[in-house]
Structure 1
């Protein structure tokens, strides 16, 4: 007999830690096999022709059960089986991921004069992600941003933002974010709970996160894409500066919208310079 199966995630990646268990119609276990690095299962255990139950499990994923028929030729082809994340929400495969700053953006948007928006981004940052294998809600995100790398496209404005009126980069050169957990908010959507430390002030900040999927890159790696947003209030981080102009309108809004577009590479280091 030859039982074959291919185990995949919803976006087509191999589940190398999947386990296939086959039982007869009385519930007696007849074989147990583990998937290889390609998510494939091939077992040569001899079974008599007839129906069997095939149960496929993987840590962090909802199990799958189906019926397979062993034919007179002794073959049972289960085909490709797709497992969904436990609870119906998706994230990349478990393990470490490293954010690629060259293909990621850490930005913020502020209102200007109450009628338009000013956009800025930080150009120097590092970040890592750890997708927990057993309980995905215990996954972790850690980010360090160089505050002086703020760039709004205007040198005079950027110099002011680096001053003690705002980021005070001489005293507080780093902005950090450390997650404390995840909560599923729907298929492919999560709330990341964490602590943002800026200007020496630590505040809880939640990120609304969308997982956009995974794919291969030209350097032989696997990449995952995310988009996240959050709202911050400047006064929560001791940035009280403002200038009131005509009609009592603040020159700079007190609320900032944070916008993150992130590519992360599987592994604990980037595979290219």
Structure 2
């Protein structure tokens, strides 16, 4: 591929920073996109511990990287490293995509839009009663997406975490999102959308929720959607139980796909066509 002036496109490196990160399928997905576009770029996964995040981000800028993604546990910590924040990153309070613009580190969040696009693959119906598990950067993006894009009239979101008081202090009074502890994750009103944003089931993560998974499934409304943003789908986990109970289920690969589509569009400065999205999806399966 050539530039507008007729010269070849200079190869750039992109990457994802995480701890852990060896399980990430982002490199295969973005490699497929670059190949479909005829671009010489590379995308790599880098294991970066929290104490080295600032060095890694600033080092990527110094080396001329085209951009970065951030995954667990860096999305909230990255806020302080950015010279500027896009509105959605500011609103959500987390960064999953970094664009280097003239030496400036600009933080974006494509997780929310990615989640909304993924959930619509299951059903286009409005959400009436949702429950989101976890309070990290991904959970913040998911809650924001549900409240701003997916929630129907008079709908509400139960946001479950280990420290509901801290979450409640951030939420506007009388809004559609209500903070709750794990003791409130089972029982109460049936939910038509359940989303796991914890690290339960992730490689090297915990194997069980603070409450039994079957109790979570028992609280689903008929025809509910259940999304576990962890991938690959853990055998015998939440999604298997929910699917056996008749729910529509989805693992984290569809959200990964769409946040990646939106992130790459930011890096390249153009939307990706259906053929490129199809190549990215195929690389994830």
TM-score tier by shorter-chain length is under 0.3
Per residue, is there more strand in 1 or in 2?
Answer: 1
TM-score, with normalisation over the residues of structure 2? 0.25
Which structure has the larger Rg over C-alpha atoms? 1
Per residue, is there more helix in 1 or in 2?
Answer: 2
